[in-house]
Amino acid sequence: MTTRHFLTLRDLSSDELRNLVKRASELKDIRNRGEVYEPLKNKVMSMIFEKSSTRTRVSFEAGMAQFGGHAMFLSPRDTQLGRGEPISDSARVISSMVDVVMIRTFSHKLVQEFAANSSVPVINALTDEYHPCQLLADMQTYFEHRGDIQGKTVTWIGDGNNMCHSYINAARQFDFKLNIACPEGFDPDMTLVEENKERVFITRSPQEAVTNSDLVVTDVWASMGQEEEQKEREEKFTGFQVSPELMDHANQDALFMHCLPAHRGEEISMDMMEDPRSVVYDEAENRLHAQKALLEFLLVK
């Protein structure tokens, strides 16, 4: 059997994604009941981090431990990856010793090259282009609070970044409409938009975008690796802030999500995280359950 990878949401079928999100809620119940479930006993995951992380590292490491396995943190500072060892050699060697590899890095091509040379599943834990693991948690959170997202309207406010790209993929795989409100010059990848043009709509008006929406999502204005653009972006993104007042233009039962970390006073108002429509902390916790469902899907036959 060929090795399955999870580099974008397109690597799984719509049915597989739906089942995975439902399974994530079951795994959450199992953990909340205090039941021990260890399908990955003696399995090892390598976690390669070339960018910072709180949620991704803690959720994968805790998830592997709860499943009876082990997770190993690798930073480029301490491995030969940081000294220029070819990705293909690293992939062949690391994958010969472990059962699954998770990578957070800058270049999406690097993750693709690693996967092409890996004998075990590779999981994209964020690249400059995509963040599919976050979308598993976001979809699980929507399903848990409001039921099926099929046919709903989601609005993305802010940068056309890695999270926005994954929302475009999610719109296709979970069958929802996606409004994107971003400042000029910060549009998402236009090829991706074009491929999904029957369900993805771009506007410059946050208020127009959120009208009739069931879910509103945002993210930082400057992503990891764009720190030097912070000041310039703060000016260009003025007006693209999600606040309770903006949420009032959405549907009455609309939810608010943010992958975190959040910058209060920039992409969200000071009070948005604590607004009753915000489910950001459930969303963050669901990283654990959704990724356990992903690990089970990739590793338990």
Report, as residue numbers or ranges, the catalytic residues.
104, 131, 134, 219, 259, 287
**Does 157 contact ligand NVA by CB under 6 A?**
no
* Helix (DSSP H) and strand (DSSP E) numbers for the chain: 11, 9
Minimum distance of ligand CP from residue 205's CB (angstroms): 27
**Does 110 contact ligand NVA by CB under 6 A?**
no
Residues binding ligand NVA: number (CB under 6 A): 10
Among 64, 209, 259, 272, binds ligand NVA (CB under 6 A): 259
The partner in contact with residue 30, picked from ligand NVA, ligand CP, none with C-beta cut-offs of 5 to 8 angstroms by kind, is: none
Minimum distance of ligand NVA from residue 13's CB (angstroms): 25
Q: Of 238, 176, 163, 158, nearest to 212 (Cα)? A: 176
Question: Which residues contribute to the site for ligand CP (CB under 6 A)?
Answer: 53-56, 126, 134, 259-260
**Residue 68: helix, strand or coil by DSSP?**
coil
The partner in contact with residue 162, picked from ligand CP, ligand NVA, none with C-beta cut-offs of 5 to 8 angstroms by kind, is: ligand NVA
Among 118, 155, 162, 278, binds ligand NVA (CB under 6 A): 162
**Does 161 contact ligand NVA by CB under 6 A?**
yes
CA angle 195, 219, 29 (to 5 degrees): 90
Cβ–Cβ < 8 Å for 172, 197: no
User: What does DSSP assign to residue 3?
Assistant: P
- Position of minimal CB gap to ligand NVA: 223
* C-alpha–C-alpha distance, residues 177 and 199, integer Å: 5
**Does 223 contact ligand NVA by CB under 6 A?**
yes
Alpha helices in 237-279 (DSSP H): 244-247
The residue with tokens 């834990």 is 125
**Residue 177: helix, strand or coil by DSSP?**
strand
The partner in contact with residue 219, picked from ligand CP, ligand NVA, none with C-beta cut-offs of 5 to 8 angstroms by kind, is: ligand NVA
